[in-house]
Amino acid sequence: MGIIYFLLLSCLGLAIAAPRRNCGSAGEVENGHIDYSEGTEFGDKIVITCNPGYQFIGKQGPRGMVCGDQGWMGKLPSCKAVTCDPPPMIVDGTFSPIKETYSYGDIVQYSCQSGLTLNGSKSVSCSDDGTFQPAPPTCIMVQCKDPDVKNGEWVQGSRPPFGYKATVTFKCRSGFIMNGESTQTCEINSEWSPGLPTCEMVTCEPPPTVAGGTLSPSKDKYVYGEVVQYSCEKGFTLSALKSVSCSEDGTFKPAPPTCITVTCEPPPMIVDGTFSPIKDTYTYGDAVLYSCQNGLTLNGSKSVSCSDDGTFQPAPPTCIMVQCAHPGIENADWVQGSRPPFGHRATATFKCRSGFIMKGESTQICEMDSQWSPGLPICE
């Protein structure tokens, strides 16, 4: 029945595909493994690789086998343990441990003669390709130049000579600010890292202005330590210190003063006199007028005013008794003027009698010192 069915299908022109050959397992690879990701049927390929630390005997790298009509084509390879020959020696240096042969993963450590520094990896290891990796280091002389930071000072760290990884820390002198990193390290290229800093002079922007006042000197920029003086317009006084200076942090200190209106305490009282107006406090320019009791005269300025230094100026007057003596002039007669008593600014005019001539001024004034001025004349 099956044959008849096959012939019938053939007569109808229908083809029947034969099943693909299956090669099955290729076996076992000691210290390796097989990748069957494509499958095990005719035409499929398997990939054989060695485990880490092992390599194929002979040709390196993964191996492949194809499933053919007679099974897997080729022979399974063998994996052996990786070994390395000794790593290369380096000039002025050595390594340890020293052996004739090294196994996979073995590590050797390089070191240099005294005074020299390893440039590269200190450790290399036997890798899966049978060589030591990474490349061996070299021994070099590392010595950085003396770090010269103008206007800077050494704070702490290494002293010369400066070898690999020597560190120094600087600070700037007073009045200078650092641009860069304060701590520097001598690197493998005999250069300081991250690069020597610079110490730049501190500068300050202009200090704030004050209402009712000025500052001197007036500039766009000031340097460390420079002093600015504040002053106020007439009638105002500074509330604090008049000077500020450019400080290390780039600002003026202390805080600027303000200009406040000048005030005065009441002026002093005087003996036998008084003043007006009387107030608790006076402001700049306020004036008071002094007066004396009846019969006394002001000696000094009648008016004093609150000045810009917070005091009344000029000095207050005094009240004194002014009385000149009767002007007795021999051979002379009173003509006109004041009558006794002769107080301040009293006047008297004289003339000589017939037969006499005057030597001096005929008119006399009683002055503050109770004396006649310019001086009594004589009649000769």
Contact between 84 and 106 (Cβ < 8 Å): yes
Domain with CATH 2.10.70.10 in the chain: 83-140, 152-201, 203-260, 263-310, 332-379
pLDDT digit string (tens) for the chain, length 380 residues: 333 333 433 444 444 556 789 999 999 999 999 999 999 999 999 999 999 999 998 766 678 999 999 999 989 999 999 999 999 999 999 999 999 999 999 999 999 999 899 999 999 999 988 999 999 999 999 999 999 999 999 999 999 999 999 999 999 999 999 999 999 999 999 999 999 999 999 999 999 999 999 999 999 999 999 999 999 999 999 998 899 999 999 999 999 999 999 999 999 999 999 999 999 999 999 999 999 998 899 999 999 999 988 999 999 999 999 999 999 899 999 999 999 999 899 999 999 999 999 999 999 999 989 999 999 999 99
The fold of 32-81 is Complement Module; domain 1 (2.10.70)
d(Cα 373, Cα 364) in Å, to the nearest integer? 5
Task: Please state which CATH class domain 263-310 belongs to.
Answer: mainly beta
**CATH top class, domain 332-379:** mainly beta
Q: What is 83-140's CATH number, 3.10.590.10, 3.30.70.20, 3.50.50.60, 2.10.70.10?
A: 2.10.70.10
Separation between Cα atoms, residue 251 and residue 287, nearest integer Å: 42
Interatomic CA distance for residues 77 and 24, integer angstroms:
18
Instruction: Return the closest-CA partner of residue 377 out of 296, 22, 32, 356.
Output: 356
Check whether domain 152-201 has CATH 2.60.40.10, yes or no: no
Beta strands in 104-181 (DSSP E): 107-112, 117-119, 123-126, 132-133, 138-140, 152-157, 167-172, 176-179
The model's pTM is: 0.52
Q: In CATH terms, is domain 203-260 a member of 2.40.160.10?
A: no
